[in-house]
Chain A
Amino acid sequence: MMPRVRKQRLYIVLFIVLGASFAAGLVFFAISENMNLFYPPSDIVAGKAPVGKQIRVGGMVVEGSIKREPSSLKVKFDITDYGDAITVVYEGILPDLFSEGEGVVASGKLDANGVFQAEEVLAKHDENYMPPEVADTLQDRGHVPTGAVGSANEETP
């Protein structure tokens, strides 16, 4: 049996851990929305994001939507969360991993027409890692080797 004084200390320790967890839980419940790094396009279409304020949007670049201006670094593309889509305009150098069907996070301001004027575009890669040959095989078999594939392993020869 545990002596009384140790039992008491055990309760104090449990109280500290549970109390801190409870407090942290309340705090994160209160600020949960603000913990998001970016707005998804459907929140922006739904009018949840402020217009003219510095915000971030994130989503997948829509296939075939990238339009570059030949004479400058201006680029225009749509991003989607497979619900709604918004148009992003950006002038500058894009990260290497930026391409159609890939995730991006852009920071900038939403203008009155609902077009996002980006000042910075970051690539958001997914959690899948595989050799190029495996990715090719997956693509040949009609799988898109991005976030849509749950596991990279199941289709390997």
Chain B
Amino acid sequence: MWSFLKSFYHKLGSPKWFYDISGKWLPWLAGLTAVLLATGAVWGLLYAPVDFKQGNSYRIIFLHVPVSFIALVGYYIMAIAGAITLIWRMKLAEVVMRACAPIGAAMTFLALISGAIWGKPTWGTWWVWDARITSMLVLFFLYLGVIALGEAFTNKDAGTKASAVLALVGTVNIPIIYKSVDWWYSLHQPATIKFTEESSMHPDMLYPLMIMIGAFYLLYAVLLILHARGEILYREHRTQWVKDLVKSSSGKL
């Protein structure tokens, strides 16, 4: 077991190994993502019952909750990759950390926008400076900061280190976002999906929502792999294996 883990760890250090294996996973992952996304979206938007108070407008939950989940979880993935980069100087972790930032920023942006669109018909306002929404906006700026710092130095190594440190510092915001609706009075309601007790949502609505959450996790994985592969090719463009790859595929394109 230990020797297997050790060899896995050493393989992870090799960008070429990751490029090869992820190329094999990608079609399956993408296919499953498409199936789950289609199932969840059709079920949630067409077949799930209307809500007793909000009517049809609650259906934006099938986008809002998955993207918000991914925005938070993705930050931890980025920070952990950043920590591995700082401690072990692993190339692949650096690639993953850099790939996480723009995807996370996009997900956070979607969460904010879908929340605003939902807020208008239900709350009566697009935006309010309550703890949940403000801390989510801070998360968006943190993602942008990680991207900006990574590109702010002529020395790429220095940029990576700086953005890894920012990614680590920013992790304090994640539990604040998550608990903000419980710690302070906010306009945003508390969590519907609870990890320790039964969720306060009818199963007919909860199942499609769960499928959408699963679909967005997979979508995140697909986007992360695609982004990481691009970054790997860019970094390794002087190595023999990338040159061979370009040579062998140039005819096909």
Restricting to B169-227, which residues have a CB under 8 Å from any CB of A? 169, 171-173, 176, 180, 183-187, 189-192, 197-205
CB contact under 8 A between A58 and B204, given known A13-B86, A122-B123, A129-B51: no
Q: Are B123 and A24 in contact (CB under 8 A)?
A: no
Sort chain A's interface into a size bin: 35 or more
A130:B54 contact, CB within 8 angstroms = no
For A121, what are the chain B residues with a Cβ–Cβ distance below 8 Å?
A: 124
B200 and A151 within 8 A (CB)? yes
Smallest Cβ distance from A47 to chain B, in angstroms?
18
Q: List 22 A-B contacts (CB under 8 A).
A: A13-B86, A16-B168, A20-B169, A21-B171, A35-B180, A37-B187, A58-B187, A94-B124, A96-B124, A97-B54, A120-B125, A122-B187, A127-B190, A127-B191, A128-B200, A129-B51, A132-B50, A134-B202, A151-B198, A151-B200, A152-B200, A153-B200
From B50, B169, B187, B192, A124 is in contact (CB under 8 Å) with B187
User: Is A105 an interface residue when CB atoms closer than 8 A count as contact?
Assistant: yes
- Of the candidates B58, B192, B202, the one whose C-beta lies within 8 Å of that of A156 is B202
Residue B131 at the A interface, CB < 8 A? yes
B52 close to A135 (CB less than 8 A): yes
8 Å CB interface, A118-157 against B: 120-135, 145, 149-154, 156
Q: Is B128 an interface residue (CB 8 A)?
A: yes
Name the interface residues of B86-104: CB closer than 8 Å to any CB of A. Answer: 86-88
With A20-B172, A96-B121 known to touch, is A129 a contact of B187 (CB < 8 Å)?
A: no
Contacts of A98 in B (CB 8 A): 124
Task: List residues 43-76 of chain B with CB under 8 A from any CB of chain A.
Answer: 49-54, 58, 61
Cβ contact of B205, chosen from A40, A129, A133, cutoff 8 A: A129
Q: Which residues of A contact B52 (CB under 8 A)?
A: 130-132, 134-135, 145
